[in-house]
Structure 1
């Protein structure tokens, strides 16, 4: 279902009036349309199938000799994402670190950020976003284990209330063999050993 831009624009106009503003003054005249366009982008993942990018897999055991047996983890670090917190409709942004223990099939590395993009483009909370990413990867691939670590800065923390401008939230979601803390320790060490600068909400 596509975002109803016309309806969003009308509601933004009403919101501007509700806060005591004049939506017809020059600086705000095009704001409803601009917000509608932004929301169409922010919430483009609503109703989309997050597993669709993982539909095309690659065999790791069949191919040029000698044939191989899957063993180690596949990890993609520092996948940038942005989303909108469903509690205050304020943005949060950060990086995702994704790892899985492949079975017989792997997926092109470019597919993993697409899963994050689809699931982040919905009203979200970080905790659920990580769990949904892990469930999607685990469900679509023949993976023996999945690990998703998200680190993000939330505007509802940095810009309101206590205004903790440097605070970031870290969440971990794990499935299969990587659900055991000892099993994922090596992967977490690889993530911590190469931490990017803390993301900041804008």
Structure 2
């Protein structure tokens, strides 16, 4: 069983409390059927008969971030670091999110670093925290801040740095139709905010100028 499948099972079993009451699967499928009719299609057409079920199932995965608690993801740490006192960086982490205004994709890359105090966390946990917040209805500014704050709160490091670059399909596939435009957001905490040398080192490691 994948971590997503387990989280979904926990949610359906009532061991995870959703932030907002969820409608039933049948209600969700009826909503998709209504949208199919709204765009001018026949939901009873052969190719569309199972579409409501498929869409709801895909939404369970695409928005699975609501099933996770980032603090729990980061809870297991390691203190045997042999006095390691340099940056820990996970860069070029691809993610998919959805704009909360139009529910269209935000596709991008996250660079996440922290300067450990006396403990570190497995690198896969950093990637999972990114996904836990990305797989929700989001704006990029909040996504950036949430990732940084979760690491800051749980690990209590000397500093946290997060840079996110992404393309917003609500801008490229509708509206102004501007393709190839990327949005960049940053959040610096602790030594990365206070020490220009640390911030410069972080930007150099991700291949950017500060």
TM-score, structure 2 as length reference: 0.83
**Candidates 150, 162, 166, aligned match of 2:176:** 162
Map 1:52-201; keep pairs closer than 5 Å: 52-61=72-81, 68-180=82-194, 182=196, 183-192=198-207
In 2: Cα distance, 1:12 partner to 1:34 partner: 10
**Candidates 48, 57, 71, aligned match of 2:68:** 48
Residue ranges of structure 1 left out of the alignment (5+ in a row): 62-67, 195-202
SS of residue in 2 equivalent to 1:170: strand
**Which 10-residue stretch deviates more, 175-184 or 20-29?**
175-184
Cα deviation, residue 71, structure 1? 2.1
Indicate the structure with greater helix content: 2
Query: Greater RCO between the two (CA within 8 Å, min separation 6)?
Result: 1
Map of 1:30 onto structure 2: 50
Listed one character per residue, the Cα deviations across residues 157-183 of structure 1 (whole Å, up to 9, x for unaligned) are 111122111011111011112123724
Cα deviation, residue 38, structure 1? 0.9
TM-score, structure 1 as length reference: 0.87
In 1: Cα distance, 2:199 partner to 2:71 partner: 24
Paired residues of 1:85 and 1:124 also in contact (CA < 8 A): yes
Cα deviation, residue 70, structure 1? 4.0
In 2: Cα distance, 1:166 partner to 1:43 partner: 25
In 1: Cα distance, 2:178 partner to 2:194 partner: 32
Paired residues of 1:145 and 1:175 also in contact (CA < 8 A): yes
In 2: Cα distance, 1:59 partner to 1:107 partner: 9
SS of residue in 2 equivalent to 1:143: coil
Residue ranges of structure 2 left out of the alignment (5+ in a row): 1-10, 13-21
Paired residues of 1:154 and 1:168 also in contact (CA < 8 A): yes
Listed one character per residue, the Cα deviations across residues 44-100 of structure 1 (whole Å, up to 9, x for unaligned) are 111521121211111145xxxxxx434211111111111111000001111110000
Paired residues of 1:60 and 1:70 also in contact (CA < 8 A): no
